[in-house]
Amino acid sequence: MTDVHILAIDLAKRSFQICATAPGGAVLFNRTVSRAKLETHLREQAPCIVAMEACATSHFWGRFAQALGHDVRLIPPIYVKPFVKRQKNDAADAAAIAEAAVRPNLHYVAVKSAEHQARAVAFRTHQSFVGQRTQLINALRGHLAEFGLVVAQGPANLKSVVGMIDDGAIDLPDAVRDVARLYLDQIALLTNKIEELHSKLVHSTKVDDAMRRLCTVPGVGPVTAGAIMAFAPDLRTFASGRNFAAWLGLVPRQRSTGGKTRLGSVSKMGQADIRKLLIVGAMSRIRWIVRKGVLPDNWLGHVLGRKPRMVAAVALANKMARMIWAMMTREENYRMA
């Protein structure tokens, strides 16, 4: 196995397809192995290039291969797809990964550390609990609406539900009151867990210099800072702030041809969580400005005077992404222009 130049792995849970190629590109073998045999194969294999598609488990295998001295290349799946020949199967996918790994000027995904992935797990858990709580609140509001009890949206309005359930003057079956109490108990449990996770994020902004620096940007709070630290790679890997904004999908989609430039809506090609939170933070700043009644005499005020609010929010989110890149790469706090 000393002649292996690239070892391409099509990842799965139990069955893995590995394709080995020589320095000239000739395929040495392309076979299926189990999880245990893959670990043994990587240990016995002389240091080479290990290529995989970037996916949920690729970072674990990337760290495993790097510890054995291999050069790991995680390739975005969209860059591998053009090299799949004819039918799609595991063998063809592994061969396509090996072919894509030797292409020049190809962008690879950085292997995340276990601590980096742990931040992502904490953020995903917080967002999952928030979604589950919203689902329970909407279900409870829908059930009560069937009996003529209309409750406003949001967790802050659940106090009125407690009063409705305890009010004997309201014509509501006892079975519905019992079910509503079950909903309230589950919502309260999720709320406590959400507050615990949020308090950990707030605490991180006090002890972590990078998160504290991110929170100095207007429109960026502990949740957004936690998402950036969890999902974004080292921002020094981006050549410019525009590249970081493009990675987030905050730049226009291009449909240019024949020397004619045609720009559309945002590409949405990058990390959805960070992009969404930056747009939400930008919209909160815009709402605060609009409530004042007078648009400021600056870039944002001029954009709001010419464009709809959502377009201005996306433009502001793009600018926030560029500022975040500059701050993190230069290790400086936000400065008001």
Q: How high is the pLDDT of residue 203?
A: 84
Of 245, 261, 284, the closest CA to residue 300 belongs to: 284
Q: How high is the pLDDT of residue 30?
A: 93
Distinct helix (H) and strand (E) counts, the chain: 13, 7
Indicate if 162 and 87 belong to the same structural domain.
no
Q: How high is the pLDDT of residue 208?
A: 82
* Residue 325: inside a domain: yes
Higher pLDDT, 326 or 269: 326
Of 62, 49, 42, 57, the closest CA to residue 111 belongs to: 62
Indicate if 95 and 130 belong to the same structural domain.
no
Instruction: Express as a percent the part of the chain with pLDDT over 70.
Output: 99
Span 66-84, pLDDT tens digits: 999 999 999 999 999 999 9
Q: How high is the pLDDT of residue 132?
A: 95
* Residue 1: inside a domain: no
Residue 148, classed as helix, strand or coil, is coil
* Residue 59: inside a domain: yes
Owning domain of residue 132: 114-207
Q: What is the rounded distance in angstroms from the CA atom of residue 231 to the CA atom of residue 191?
A: 24
* Residue 248: inside a domain: yes
Indicate if 42 and 152 belong to the same structural domain.
no
Span 167-221, pLDDT tens digits: 878 888 889 899 999 999 999 999 999 999 989 888 887 788 888 899 889 999 8
In what helix (H) or strand (E) does residue 75 lie, and over which residues does it extend? strand 71-75
Whether residue 305 contacts residue 293, with contact meaning beta carbons closer than 8 Å, is answered with: no
Residue 14 has phi, psi (to 5 degrees) of: -125, -30
In what helix (H) or strand (E) does residue 224 lie, and over which residues does it extend? helix 222-231
* Residue 106: inside a domain: no
For 6, other C-beta atoms within 10 Å of its C-beta total 23
Tokens of 81: 């797809």
Q: What is the rounded distance in angstroms from the CA atom of residue 94 to the CA atom of residue 19?
A: 6
Q: What is the CA radius of gyration of the chain?
A: 26
* Residue 36: inside a domain: yes
Q: What is the rounded distance in angstroms from the CA atom of residue 250 to the CA atom of residue 316?
A: 10
Beta strand pairing status for 15-21 and 252-254? unpaired
Indicate if 85 and 144 belong to the same structural domain.
no
In what helix (H) or strand (E) does residue 241 lie, and over which residues does it extend? helix 241-247
How many structural domains comprise the chain?
3
The CA-atom distances, in angstroms, between 63 and each of 36, 59, 69, 132, 268 are: 16, 6, 10, 33, 28
Q: Grade residue 98 by pLDDT with cuts at 50, 70 and 90.
A: very high
Indicate if 88 and 141 belong to the same structural domain.
no
Mean pLDDT of the chain: 89
Indicate if 323 and 234 belong to the same structural domain.
yes
Q: What is the rounded distance in angstroms from the CA atom of residue 108 to the CA atom of residue 23?
A: 20
Indicate if 15 and 73 belong to the same structural domain.
yes
Residues with Cβ < 8 Å from 228, sequence gap 6 or more?
214, 274, 324
Q: How high is the pLDDT of residue 129?
A: 95
Span 297-327, pLDDT tens digits: 788 888 888 889 899 999 999 999 999 999 9
Tokens of 178: 């019992």
Q: What is the pTM of this model?
A: 0.80
Last residue of a domain, one of 169, 191, 207: 207
Higher pLDDT, 92 or 169: 92
Q: Grade residue 241 by pLDDT with cuts at 50, 70 and 90.
A: very high
What's the rounded mean pLDDT across residues 321-337? 87
Indicate if 143 and 177 belong to the same structural domain.
yes
Indicate if 193 and 282 belong to the same structural domain.
no
Span 128-141, pLDDT tens digits: 999 999 999 999 99
Span 13-70, pLDDT tens digits: 899 999 999 998 899 999 999 999 999 999 999 999 999 999 889 999 999 999 999 9
Span 277-293, pLDDT tens digits: 999 999 998 988 888 87
Indicate if 79 and 187 belong to the same structural domain.
no
